Amino acid sequence: MIKFFGSLFITTALLWSAHSFKEHRYIYSIDKHLELSGSIVFESDKMEIYYTEPQIRRIVYDGSSMDTYEHDILTQHIDLASQPMMQLYMRFIFQLYQGNFKVLEENFNIVYEDDTVRLTPIPPADKVIVSVEVIRQNKVIKKIMMKMSNGDEITLDIAP
């Protein structure tokens, strides 16, 4: 489940457009660093993440479920209503990358410092996330650094 959290933490601030990203992920449980890349596309209530490296994979989130595809073959379907913490997390990811910090105030204390936005989770989000730092340039998200409660760390560099 945590593996999917990292996979889903890839996005940007604009709707209806694709953005490239590079992801560096540290997985604490196996003490391993991974480098991934791909793109993300947003629609009004949906996001699709396309990984191109190191393997081809697509993740689709539509507000109520999350599907993972490997080479266009469905490999996992998650009904988010049956997993409230994952549902909370997915909503967080979607809103974060939309740049909708106002909505995130329900689950995070948010501090704005010049081009940096720092998010500290409050219960129940603190069960999954330790901290999030978002670097923006002219209000466009450029970099996201996230620490998870399981020890994982994710850094995303987002291209325009």
Lowest-confidence segment of 10-14, 18-22, 130-134, 145-149 by average pLDDT: 10-14
pLDDT of 159 strictly over 50: yes
Give the residue-averaged pLDDT of 65-71: 92
pLDDT at 17: 58
Higher confidence at residue 2 or residue 67?
67
pLDDT of 20 strictly over 50: yes
- Residue that has been written with the tokens 């590079």 in this structure: 22
In the sheet with 57-61, reading across from the earlier edge strand, the strands are 73-79, 65-70, 57-61, 46-53, 32-43, 18-27, 153-158, 140-148, 129-137, 116-121, 108-113
Report pLDDT digits (tens) over 91-116. 887 787 777 888 889 889 999 998 99
pLDDT at 4: 44
* Averaged pLDDT of the chain: 83
Distance in angstroms (rounded) separating the CA atoms of residues 22 and 39 = 9
pLDDT at 9: 43
Report pLDDT digits (tens) over 141-157. 889 899 989 999 999 88
Tokens of 156: 């995303």
- Domain residue spans in the chain? 2-158
Give the residue-averaged pLDDT of 14-26: 72
For the domain covering 2-158, report its CATH number.
Answer: 2.50.20.10
pLDDT at 160: 67
